[in-house]
Amino acid sequence: MLKKHNQLFLTIMLVVDISVVVISWLGAYWLRFETDLPTPKGVPAFTEYLWFIPVLVVIWGLCMHVGGMYSPMRSDSRFNEYFRIFKASAYAITMTMAAAFFYREYSYSRAVMFMFWMLSLSGLIISHIVVRTTLRIFRRKGYNLRYVVIVGAGELAQSLAETFSRHPESGMVLIGMLADNPKDLGMVYHGHKVIGLVDQVNEVIEKHKVDQVFIALPHGAYERLENTLTQLSDVTVDIKLAPDISQFIRLNSSVEDFDGFPIVSLSESPMYGWNKVLKTAFDYIFAAVFIVLWSPVMALIAVAIKLESEGPLLYIQERMSLGGEPFTIYKFRTMKVDAEKETGAVWANPGDDRRTWFGAFLRRTSLDELPQLFNVLTGKMSLVGPRPERPVFVKDFKKSIPKYMLRHKMKAGITGWAQVNGLRGNTSLEKRVEYDLYYIENWSVLFDIKILWLTIWKGFINKHAY
């Protein structure tokens, strides 16, 4: 029910926002061509701008959805919500201008585009304020509310209570929780009180006019679950079960229906279906573009390496990527030949005498990574993803670092969320895994673009690259 309420609310928000975008587009045309502003190139036909509206609806609808504008509002997220609106609108206006450029049949005014962005940005912020404020007023007046009680008072029940606290827009009012232990009576969790015992569930339902019961008992309490369901067999309230499977959840968990059977996915890669197609197309296109752009630099680097020291141009090494499968990675050689003959497989350190002079420069500037663009073209790597590690290190890391192997749910990347946050080289492995898993959990094409932009914006130089 919570999900259905959120879907209804978010659908309303999307419809309102699309309306704001269309009105802003028409308003920008009016401001530019129907006021006293000079029009040296003449006034284009209004129908030219009308034909572009369906394109706007698709672009802005996708960007607003992917940009996170429809995540549930939390009590302290007003600023974050406005930032998400700005970010989504920036993506959308960029794509709009690109679409207008290729829409050769008509020529659209840049002034209209700028006015449209300003109007739509202001309108979206105002619409979100108005809709959410209106919704709160209706909820406060008692319209369309659902009264809920949670059976249970343990960690699972407390987490569920916190979730209700974070979703005031759902219109679901938590009356309280019911505990197993009498000692828990009167306890308050996340602003919600334990108002009775599990055996008193029917009395609580009748007294507080409860609409829905959420059963949130711990994993080992399914005997009590059966007793509770027996008690609830004669009441007409909606009954929801919150299964205690949190200790089993790994990555990208979800619940699916398989011909009537509820199937809980505990861990899976986001790279399937259209996600895989989009990610692959993104990698191939941009890798090819980057190879062309960086080819003069790569040629100069190749000459410098050959002039400085004897040995091969490229350093070829085995790394691990998607599914833990090994692959051959290509990098510009930055160390002397047979550098690991005496030391074995070890990470480079500050002042490492195995490096050549020019190799130290390449490593510090990350230019030694450029040949990996060809790894992307062969499908072994991605532009963005968890950094690939050597099998000999992976063997040790997976024993000592929880969830380390979950990094291999996606292809290894040249750059990644951990790297743009300074986690590279001799830095905390636990923190790098945390950032890698966050990236996998929240992957999108726009997230990849953001990471690539941060890679360029922050520069290639990294103090931890030795």
Q: Is the pLDDT of residue 232 over 70?
A: yes
| Residue 435 burial (C-beta neighbours within 10 Å; 0-12, 13-18, 19+) | buried
Residue range 12-45, pLDDT digits in tens: 788 889 999 999 999 999 998 888 788 777 788 8
Torsional sign, CA 180, 182, 185, 189:
negative
Q: Give the model's confidence band at 253: pLDDT under 50 very low, under 70 low, under 90 confident, else very high.
A: low
Distances (CA, A) of 334 to 58, 167, 328, 330: 47, 53, 17, 12
- Packed helices 2-33 and 110-140: angle between N→C axes, nearest 10 degrees: 140
Q: Which amino acid is at 350?
A: P
Nearest residue to 60 (alpha-carbon basis) of 13, 30, 103, 93? 93
Q: Which pTM was predicted?
A: 0.54
- Packed helices 273-308 and 445-457: angle between N→C axes, nearest 10 degrees: 20
**How is residue 246 annotated by DSSP?**
G
Residue range 70-108, pLDDT digits in tens: 765 543 456 677 888 888 899 899 888 888 877 655 577
Q: Give the model's confidence band at 190: pLDDT under 50 very low, under 70 low, under 90 confident, else very high.
A: confident
Q: Would you state the pLDDT for residue 351?
A: 59
146-248 homologous superfamily: NAD(P)-binding Rossmann-like Domain (3.40.50.720)
Mean pLDDT, range 220-249, rounded to an integer = 74
**Domain ranges within the chain, ordered by starting residue:** 2-140, 146-248, 273-457
Residue range 341-374, pLDDT digits in tens: 555 555 555 556 677 888 888 888 888 889 999 9
**How is residue 370 annotated by DSSP?**
T
Q: Would you state the pLDDT for residue 169?
A: 62
Q: Would you state the pLDDT for residue 463?
A: 55
Q: Give the model's confidence band at 1: pLDDT under 50 very low, under 70 low, under 90 confident, else very high.
A: very low
Mean pLDDT, range 109-119, rounded to an integer = 90
Of how many residues is the chain composed? 466
Q: Would you state the pLDDT for residue 75?
A: 38
Q: Would you state the pLDDT for residue 407?
A: 83
Q: Would you state the pLDDT for residue 76?
A: 41
Torsional sign, CA 365, 371, 377, 379:
negative
Q: Give the model's confidence band at 156: pLDDT under 50 very low, under 70 low, under 90 confident, else very high.
A: confident
